[in-house]
Amino acid sequence: MSIFVDETTKVVYQGLTGSQGRFYGLRNRDYGTQVVAGTNPKKAGTDVDGIPIYASVTEAKEATGATASCVFIPAPGVRAAVLEAAEAGLELVVVITEGVPAHDEAYFFNKVKRDFPRTRILGPNCPGIISPGKANIGITAGEIAHPGGPVGIVSRSGTLTYQALYELKLQGIGVTTCVGIGGDPVPGTSFIDCLEAFQADPETKAVMLIGEIGGTGEEEAAEFIATKMDKPVSAYIAGVTAPPGKKMGHAGAIVSGGKGTAQAKMDALAAAGVRVGQNPTEAGQHMVDLVKELGLT
């Protein structure tokens, strides 16, 4: 199985008529994803390479049965775009856009959680989600992902997500779903959300977690792994050499007041029984070893 998206997921691209939305929307369609619509109130009634454009997400859903959205709207418009998708009743809203104001993220995260609890937000500032061989929503290159399981991946870092996928592919190891949760201060989907889903998925036998400095998400994940999971986990935490008080990469990747350091996260995960790599390649090798030990190759 896969988590959150599969071959039945129908996606509307908010921003399909823009250059980036078009590029990735068509790539996702070529991968096999059901990209069924785009939205742009000024271009309703037109199409992008045969994909119909509607004035609103509600109209797109009514016409196509869309269940998910991918947001390629510029940062100032993301708040309205996310709420539009949630109000239309979509199950998943994948926000690729970076640079979304933190107060906008906090607002739509809390409003959706309160008023539209059936809608899951992924991102912002994330690479999206791919269930290899089934659906790819976002900017991950489908060519680097090997289908068929047994590994699930959850990551805050887009670039390291790609490395993890490719290293597993080189070893012939498939992935059920790879989720990029993004590195902003208010992620719509957390490590624990994904770990819980992977724990419940019978085809995911092991999980790879990729974190980074800043926040407490990895420590919270470690506690969840220790108390709620029986599937093995390997991990890598980026930012071991990051100086305190400086943001490194993502808006949420900042160490302050002695909290959020890479070493603290690594220690917490190791204490939970996670095999923690000192670099991405070592973390990948840990997963290869786990798969072999489980007899899944």
Q: Tens digits of per-residue pLDDT, 197-244? A: 999 999 999 999 999 988 899 999 999 999 999 999 999 998 776 666
Residue 274: pLDDT above 60? yes
Mean pLDDT of the region 102-123 = 97
CATH class (in words) of the domain with range 141-293 = alpha beta
Does the pLDDT value for residue 133 go beyond 70? yes
In this predicted structure, the answer to whether residue 258 has a pLDDT above a threshold of 80 is: no
The answer to whether residue 88 scores a pLDDT higher than 70 is yes
Percent of the chain having pLDDT more than 90?
84
Q: Which ranges in the chain are annotated with CATH 3.40.50.720? A: 10-122
Average pLDDT over residues 270-276: 97
pLDDT at 248: 52
Residue 280: predicted pLDDT: 87
Residue 149: pLDDT band with limits 50, 70, 90? confident
Which CATH number is correct for 10-122, 3.40.50.720, 3.90.1010.10, 3.30.56.10, 3.40.710.10?
Answer: 3.40.50.720
- Residue pair 212/157 in contact by the 8 Å Cβ criterion: yes
Output the pLDDT for position 259.
57
Per-residue pLDDT, 253:
46
pLDDT tens for 167-196 read 999 999 999 999 999 989 899 999 999 999
Mean pLDDT of the chain: 93
State the CB neighbour count (10 A cutoff) for residue 191: 25
Q: Are 181 and 126 in contact (CB under 8 A)?
A: yes
**pLDDT tens, position by position, 11-42:** 999 999 999 999 999 999 999 999 999 999 99
Name beta bridge partners: 11.
35, 68
Query: Which pLDDT does position 21 carry in this prediction?
Result: 97
The answer to whether residue 143 scores a pLDDT higher than 80 is yes
Q: Which residues are catalytic?
A: 250
- pLDDT reported for residue 244: 60
Q: What is the arithmetic mean of pLDDT over 90-116?
A: 97
